[in-house]
Amino acid sequence: MEKHERFIDALNYRRSVRVYDDAKKLDNDIVKKCIQQATLAPNSSNMQLWEFHHITSTDLVKKLAVACLGQPAATTAKQMVVVVVRKDLWKQRTKSNLNNLQQLFGNKPKEKQSSREKFALNYYGKLMPFVYGEFLGLFGYLKFLISWVTGIFRPTYRQLRNSDLRIVAHKSAALAAQTFMLSMAAEGYDTCPMEGSDTLRIKKILKLPLSSEINMVISCGIRKPEGVYGERFRIPFEEVYKHWS
């Protein structure tokens, strides 16, 4: 089978499953492999402001099911994966990227660095601290004002407030979550991303810092036929597809 056909099969197989088969177990290592594949997802500036909490403990799954408002996708789940946004780790992630580049470029003196190397080093050494640096929410509005004024004269990046950067981090985490679910589908495993949840309780259960944010709680298992609620429905493609030639 061609690679693209395998992808289409996984895409078509993936459904949000609400009821899992209690008799069928998951291989922890396969789920872990799918999480590892999720880390290959594209993300903003390669900052990787995410964590993936793989819950296999029956006790914890039950507690999370309560925090997920007792929905069947949670109460019948065999495992759960909680995708967490860690925007608060931006300094560590910036440093990791910078260290990686320095090793890649061989710690050359500035005069021997190419323009591409200088740009990459400045990107993580100066630009990311400027973009993510914050002080009581005030610095973000100052940056926003600077970008607004600059934008009068030329195209410029405008998502510089704390609220903007939260959206950026959540978009990246959501890309990883979708990659995980497709990886699971390729293994014949099922998932359901659950919006309905008490995120504060989930953070307490997983002992997460208050600065973290729950992006998605994904239940995992193997479907029962009744766990897929009907045929997939999508708005007609012509209504959502806009072609500019």
In the chain (245 residues long), the average pLDDT of successive 10-residue segments reads: 82 97 97 98 98 98 98 98 98 97 88 92 94 79 84 86 92 98 98 96 98 98 96 96 97
> For residue 238, is it within any domain?
no
Q: At 35, which CATH number? A: 3.40.109.10
Q: How, if at all, do strands 190-194 and 213-221 pair?
A: antiparallel
Write out the residue range of the structural domain in which residue 53 sits: 3-88+164-227
Query: What is residue 137's predicted lDDT score, i.e. its pLDDT?
Result: 67
Same domain, 138 and 187: no
Query: What is residue 3's predicted lDDT score, i.e. its pLDDT?
Result: 67
> For residue 237, is it within any domain?
no
> For residue 233, is it within any domain?
no
In the chain, the number of structural domains is 2
Query: What is residue 147's predicted lDDT score, i.e. its pLDDT?
Result: 86
Query: What is residue 196's predicted lDDT score, i.e. its pLDDT?
Result: 93
Please state, in angstroms and rounded to a whole number, the distance separating the CA atoms of residues 70 and 73: 8
Same domain, 43 and 101: no
Token pair listed for 240:
């959502």
Please state, in angstroms and rounded to a whole number, the distance separating the CA atoms of residues 74 and 202: 13
Beta bridge partners of 99: none
Residue where a domain stops, chosen among 110, 130, 160: 160
Beta bridge partners of 139: none
Of 153, 173, 175, 154, the residue nearest 165 (C-alpha): 173
Residue where a domain stops, chosen among 108, 125, 160: 160
Same domain, 103 and 114: yes
